[in-house]
Amino acid sequence: MLSTIKQILYFLEKKSGWLDWIFQRVSSLFLLPFCFYFNNLLFINHFLFFHIKLGLYSILEDYIHNETIKEILSLFIRLIIILGIKDLYLLFY
């Protein structure tokens, strides 16, 4: 049992692109039905920004090779996502 948990944790720590790919596909599948159901805008906004964040991070990891620039852009992406969620929340509620 413990070795299975260690294997799972090792797999998650390898920073495999496979897991990011799965999260991005699952978040897009969750977004699809909410495009037709507009009463729960807060829920769709959070999934939308989660999906955007995953996409931007995958672009960042693939095309930016300097670690300091990666960290700065990662912080900038987080700030933009937080500000976007706040602005949409204030706009709709």
Domain ranges of the chain: 17-92
Q: 71 pLDDT exceeds 80?
A: yes
For the record, the structure tokens of 52 come out as 């955007």
For the record, the structure tokens of 6 come out as 């260690």
Rg (CA), the chain: 16
Rounded CA-CA distance 53/80 in Å is 9
User: Is the model's pTM score more than 0.75?
Assistant: no
Rounded CA-CA distance 19/61 in Å is 14
Q: Please state the rounded mean pLDDT for residues 45-61.
A: 86
Confidence of residue 14 (pLDDT cuts 50, 70, 90): low
Q: Please state the rounded mean pLDDT for residues 56-77.
A: 92
Looking at mean pLDDT, say which of 16-25, 28-37, 74-83 comes out highest.
Answer: 74-83
pLDDT, residue 74, reads 93
3-state secondary structure 1-55: CHHHHHHHHHHHHCCCHHHHHHHHHHHHHHHHHHCCCCCCHHHHHHHHHHHHHHH
